[in-house]
Structure 1
Amino acid sequence: MSTTPNSPEARDVAYHLHAYTNAKKHEEVGPLLIDRGEGVYVYDNHGKRYLEAMSGLWSVGLGFSEKRLVEAATRQMERLPYYHTFTHKGHNPVADLAEKLVTMAPVPMSKAFFTNSGSEAIDTALKMIWYRSNALGKPEKKKIIVRNRAYHGVTIAAAALTSLPANHNSFDLIVPDVIRLTAPHFYREGKPGETEEQFATRLAEELDAAIQAAGPDTVAAMFAEPLQGAGGVIVPPATYWEKIQAVLAKYDILLVADEVICGFGRTGSMFGCETFNLKPDMMALSKQISSSYIPASALLINKRVYGPIRERSGEIGTFGHGFTAGGHPVASAVSLETIRIIEEDGLVERAGEVGAKLQAGLRSLADHPLVGEVRGMALIAAIELVTDKEAKTALPTPGQLGAMVNANLQEAGIISRAMVDALAFCPPLIITEAQVEELVAGVRAALDKTYKELGA
């Protein structure tokens, strides 16, 4: 960190409490301040260039310098910088975006409800589910199912559905009766001699047993990511979703697909639901919907969800939920332009093609002494770090090895993210094959450097 008292780094430490940061350590090491972006690269305020292999926070699909998004925001700012969607009011951009999202959804949807972040979309889904159960005269049908290592956000309700220790430690959880089940990670949770299909069957049987134990009439919905992102880029085992959805249908339980990371091309399909053949009742969308140039998110709901909400709001006189900036005209305009670019430039198909190069490149590192598993699909991946391949263990302190490799990678000019002892990769959809090669070479160098530092 710069020792100059008035440096940007020093002022940041003095006044800024950072998200997902060790506040005490931050006072010692200070921040990496990013000054500008160009394509898949960002530059710090000292001019050093980094390949942003995480798209910021899994989200800047179009890179850091897409002029069409800036122009879309500017045009809308000049015409109508703000309006809301409360009390029978709206505006053209949000109406156009609602139509676009509902009609492009991979399964029939009825309505779009707009929020500002993935967490708000998840909170909204939870409130709608409770509202719906009450409207149906089933006030006991409120329990929610999630998977361990799932990530569904950090607002006060969404955080309770997230199943990661850092999101719960020292926080109170207010959502009652959350049913948490085994993470669908075959590498960590599969039993000796078990196939992926057998693992998937066991998880489906676990789900069925949990529903029966809770009482089927008390379970309202399962929230799930098509592919679990922040929990470690966990690709579900073969036949998993087919079997899970059969259990949910058996007990008339809603499925909420958290598409916040998977949506808009990340898995090689427009939505993760298409990649894994999910048929959800609700879909939470955010991040790449606007390439994160401006906060935006949406919740899509089908007729099964909308019908009871419609009737109950008619009885009460309103649906008493909404956000000041939900469906913001500038966010709507930027989101529409983002989707246009993804479609016009064929970025979903491109994610599959260039993503194959990324997956092959990272898998070429599988024989490295520090690599336990390489997993992912298209343009999302993770490397599980170990020091003992057979035992699947890393250093004694969880996260220590991940932090070491991630620091060496950043020093080499590549930004990744350590998820305990796994490194995540989620580069912009516009990344080229040459830039993928640059990324993989940087990862190999960081692994080699760390291995030497460990004295191996």
Structure 2
Amino acid sequence: MTTVDTKAIQAIDSAHYLHPFTDFKDLGTRGARVMTRAEDIYVWDSEGKRVLDAMSGLWCVNAGYGRKELAQAAYDQMMALPYYNSFFQTTNVPAATLAAKLASLAPRVGDRHFSHVFYSSSGSESNDSNVRMVRRYWDLMGQPQRKIIIGRTNGYHGSTMAGASLGGMSGMHAQGDLPIPNITHIGQPYFFEDGRPGESEEEFGIRAAGWLEEKILELGADKVAAFIAEPLQGAGGVIIPPSTYWGEIQRIVDKYGILLISDEVICAFGRLGHWFAYEKFGYKPDLVTFAKAVTSGYIPLGGVMVGNRVADVLIEKGGEFNHGYTYSGHPVACAVALANLEIMERENLVGRVRDDVGPYLAKKFQEVAAHPLVGLAETCGFVGGLVLVKDKASKQTFAPSLSVGMVCRGHCFGNGLIMRAVGDRMIIAPPLTMTHAQIDEMVALILHCLDLTREDVQARGWLA
């Protein structure tokens, strides 16, 4: 193993590398953690410390680290055809083959089926493509006034101008004059925060979905093009909608004839125990955004599954769709994706999440729910979230200014666990390859770090 001079790399990093979603001044005072290798569900830093990666990198390393088949697929394709564009009526074997494979994995729901794919390199680019495709669709349908796309507060759809606008992150909107025109938002289906006294979670789900109908009527149904949402909100803190939510959303979009975009950049490819999450929740999207786990994060690739309602119009009415990317259908990325999907099928990773490790994680999370610092702990498939609270009985939360979630995150990093903080919600999305023993190991680390956090905030006088 090659020895890394941590301080030298940190100095180079500080001098030249502007990191995403980072306070550059703050990072410059402490230095970035230098990661050097990974295997299975673990990563190692330059000091040799092993860390259990409970976030799969950034929600993406579903098949785990160290997959030699994926490196071999990239090498083989690079030696055969490392790159050629998909412009000018040209294709390549991996791009066409992967499109057919993805179409075969996307289940038909009612009258919706997915036979076509539009490629990008990321979820952000894919959602930019959705904006272009949705508006092109309505232009071809003779309703060019339908331009408005509705998203959700605290939703995340990327960090490009269009992606950040579609999302409802206030911190992102505060920079760059966002959102761009003709994008607006409704509230998120977060029962813990927005449920009324005496209201059941199912009743709240209906009420939260109703915010979409209220917004459509406010704007004018003839001006609304689409509604975009994650099946469950990822970067917003693993917000799992009530069971009644998506059925009511489907009723509303059907009633007003608007398109439905399912952003599954996080949720697709087994994360929730299905190839695509719309199947789990039983709704019928017109467009499905994907990225991340399609290659298990080994190489950038994203895209949009384009349903028959949209694809038929784009194809049959003709005319050039003036949109695309240099790397659309990149042959190396598509070859790696094909190899990754083959691993997932061979090892039945999707079925394991649905029938084995997902239920086991849910069972183990009951131990997390019992911790005195936890007001709520829940899982869905192979994601989980917990809320840190000041008082467990009343579920009183900490003042946001205390940043208790970041205190907990610090204890996690210091004790061999990567767990993400979203405010005072701590979230996980581990590799789908985890064994029961590794889930036990992860939960033990979580409980240990929660104990350390409780001791810390108690010493600071922050507990009730």
- TM-score of the alignment, normalized to the shorter chain, above 0.5: yes
1:176 aligns with 2:181: yes
The more displaced of 155-164 and 394-403 is 394-403
1:33 aligns with 2:34: yes
**Aligned-residue offset at 1:110:** 3.1
Paired letter, 1:56: G
1:7 counterpart residue number: 8
Aligned ranges 1:17-416 → 2 under 5 Å: 17-107=18-108, 108-311=113-316, 313-314=318-319, 318-352=320-354, 353-390=356-393, 392-398=395-401, 400-416=403-419
**Aligned-residue offset at 1:174:** 5.0
Paired letter, 2:330: H
Paired letter, 1:149: N
The more displaced of 386-395 and 107-116 is 386-395
Question: Deviations for 1:35-60, whole angstroms, at most 9, x for unmatched residues?
Answer: 00011000001111000000000001
Distance, in Å, in 2 between the alignment partners of 1:394 and 1:195 is 21
SS at match of 2:37: strand
SS at match of 2:369: coil
**Aligned-residue offset at 1:388:** 2.5
**Aligned-residue offset at 1:395:** 3.2
Distance, in Å, in 2 between the alignment partners of 1:345 and 1:226 is 25
Question: Deviations for 1:349-395, whole angstroms, at most 9, x for unmatched residues?
Answer: 11231122222222212222211111221210111111133554443
Distance, in Å, in 2 between the alignment partners of 1:266 and 1:399 is 32
Count residues with an aligned counterpart: 450
Q: CA RMSD in A?
A: 1.5
**Aligned-residue offset at 1:86:** 0.6
1:370·1:447 contact (CA, 8 Å) conserved in 2?
Answer: yes
1:437 aligns with 2:440: yes
The more displaced of 81-90 and 305-314 is 305-314
**Aligned-residue offset at 1:181:** 1.1
SS at match of 2:136: helix
Distance, in Å, in 1 between the alignment partners of 2:402 and 2:378 is 18
Paired letter, 2:301: A
CA separation of 1:32 and 1:399: change in aligned 2, threshold 3 A: farther
**Aligned-residue offset at 1:312:** 5.1
Paired letter, 1:58: W
Paired letter, 1:448: D
Distance, in Å, in 1 between the alignment partners of 2:367 and 2:13 is 40
Paired letter, 2:412: L
CA separation of 1:405 and 1:121: change in aligned 2, threshold 3 A: same
Distance, in Å, in 1 between the alignment partners of 2:364 and 2:340 is 28
2:456 counterpart residue number: 453
Paired letter, 1:248: V
Distance, in Å, in 2 between the alignment partners of 1:301 and 1:193 is 41
Paired letter, 2:82: P
CA separation of 1:240 and 1:382: change in aligned 2, threshold 3 A: same
Distance, in Å, in 1 between the alignment partners of 2:6 and 2:58 is 30
Distance, in Å, in 1 between the alignment partners of 2:401 and 2:116 is 43
**Aligned-residue offset at 1:398:** 4.2
Distance, in Å, in 1 between the alignment partners of 2:425 and 2:19 is 22
CA separation of 1:222 and 1:62: change in aligned 2, threshold 3 A: same
Match of 1:425 among 408, 425, 428: 428
Paired letter, 2:88: T
SS at match of 1:145: strand
| Residue segments in structure 1 that go unaligned for 5+ positions in a row | none
Question: Deviations for 1:178-230, whole angstroms, at most 9, x for unmatched residues?
Answer: 23111111111111111122112212322212111110100010001111111
1:286·1:297 contact (CA, 8 Å) conserved in 2?
Answer: yes
1:254·1:281 contact (CA, 8 Å) conserved in 2?
Answer: yes
Paired letter, 1:307: D
TM-score of the pair, normalised by structure 2: 0.94
Give structure 1 regions of 4+ aligned residues with deviation exceeding 6 angstroms.
none
Distance, in Å, in 1 between the alignment partners of 2:265 and 2:148 is 22
* Identity of matched residues, %: 41
CA separation of 1:376 and 1:75: change in aligned 2, threshold 3 A: same
The more displaced of 392-401 and 54-63 is 392-401
The more displaced of 397-406 and 35-44 is 397-406
Paired letter, 1:219: V
CA separation of 1:278 and 1:167: change in aligned 2, threshold 3 A: same
Distance, in Å, in 1 between the alignment partners of 2:18 and 2:396 is 33
CA separation of 1:47 and 1:5: change in aligned 2, threshold 3 A: closer
2:117·2:303 contact (CA, 8 Å) conserved in 1?
Answer: yes
CA separation of 1:311 and 1:76: change in aligned 2, threshold 3 A: same
Distance, in Å, in 1 between the alignment partners of 2:266 and 2:6 is 39
